[in-house]
Amino acid sequence: MVLPGVQSGMPDGPRGAIDYAGNGGTGEFVFPDGFPWLNQNGVVIPRSNGALLNSSRIPDGTSNTLMVGERNVNLARLGDSSQFDENNGYIDGWDWDTIRWGYEVPAPDRRDDSWYDRRFGSSHIGVLNGVFCDGSVRTIRFTINLGAFQRICNRTDGQVVNFDDQ
């Protein structure tokens, strides 16, 4: 989908929307103010030196850690780039358009008057698809226990992930 741009540090123009988001983790939430890369424990994190996070920095194991998942979107506002999580498109980098966090369990796509959501989610019935750091794709239920979901999103908590906790 091509969206008209809303100025957010980028020039006006069309934007390409995306239905997926990187895992920002469960670290301190600082948007819209502050420096979001401080104290983050997800897999997709910005680095001031441009380096990529490698698998040696995922002590919980690549098969236990979410890398990318479907993101919760507002179906009532499709094509409306005034939303905070739809204003810059997929080229924005580390922003609400391309990152989601594990603060809340995933949820079905919504139809309301909200301007953003930081959760993972989808339009699938009861589940979203997630790509784990080992390359596997798994479904994650919306009914997953919040603690289990946070363990999946945090690459450094040292906690065992039990996918039966969904």
Instruction: For 53-105, write each residue's pLDDT tens digit.
Output: 665 688 888 999 999 999 998 888 776 666 667 666 666 666 677 888 899 99
CA dihedral 94, 106, 30, 98 (to 10 degrees): 10
Residue 78, number of CB atoms within 10 A of its CB: 14
Question: Taking a C-beta distance cutoff of 8 angstroms, is the pair 60, 155 a contact?
Answer: yes
pLDDT single digits (tens) 27-40: 776 555 555 555 67
Q: For position 91, what pLDDT does the model report?
A: 67
**Out of 9-23, 41-55, 98-112, which region has the weakest mean confidence (pLDDT)?**
41-55
The pLDDT tens digits for 114-143 are 877 889 999 999 999 999 999 999 999 999
Question: What is the C-alpha to C-alpha distance for residues 92 and 94, in angstroms, rounded to an integer?
Answer: 7
Query: pLDDT at position 132, please?
Result: 95
Question: Which of 20-29, 36-45, 140-149 has the lowest average pLDDT?
Answer: 36-45
